[in-house]
Amino acid sequence: MTDSPKVLLIMGSDSDLPVMQTAGEVLQKFGIPYEMHIASAHRSPAKAMALASEAAGRGIEAIIAGAGMAAHLAGVVAAKTILPVIGVPMPGGALNGVDALYSTVQMPGGIPVATMAIGKAGAKNAGLFVVQMLALNDVRLAGALKEYRREMEDEVERKDAALQAAGREA
């Protein structure tokens, strides 16, 4: 995006890109500029810490961090910034993402990480959570978020009307 980024999306591996793109799509829908990087808490910790510690000074307002397996990325990032950090556990591995969920959600007191669901649903909600945070001080975003919710409600109503028209009971 061309505007100065407000959100940093960081992932531990390029294999996380299909999931993390979901968060980016949400931010794009709401016109929120972002940037995306690959940095591993284990394989490139200096890069991950630098991205986190320099983010606020570059105008970043929130960070979404996605990682799988041991999934320490969100915690490492949160330790190096006072910006809100949202963790997205990646699916896969021997435990299908449950290990990543536990690694992301079980932060010690004092270093919070907001943790979303495993995978694309979590990435989508991470994007929406950032929109909600930014909408606290942005009337345009607040209105767009309310319209988004109305559209979801309308979609459910359309689907129910189609079901009823087909003569089926829910």
Q: At 147, list the tokens.
A: 């319209």
3-state SS, residue 7: strand
Single out the residue of 75, 78, 26 nearest to residue 55, CA to CA: 78
Single out the residue of 128, 76, 62, 69 nearest to residue 107, CA to CA: 76
CA distance 72 to 12: 9
3-state SS, residue 37: strand
Residue 149 annotated as binding? no
Residue 13 annotated as binding? yes
Radius of gyration of the chain (CA): 17
Residue 16 annotated as binding? yes
Burial class (CB in 10 A: 0-12, 13-18, 19+), 1: middle
Backbone angles phi, psi at 4, to 5 degrees: -60, 130
Residues at the annotated binding site for substrate? 13, 16, 43
Residues at the annotated binding site? 13, 16, 43
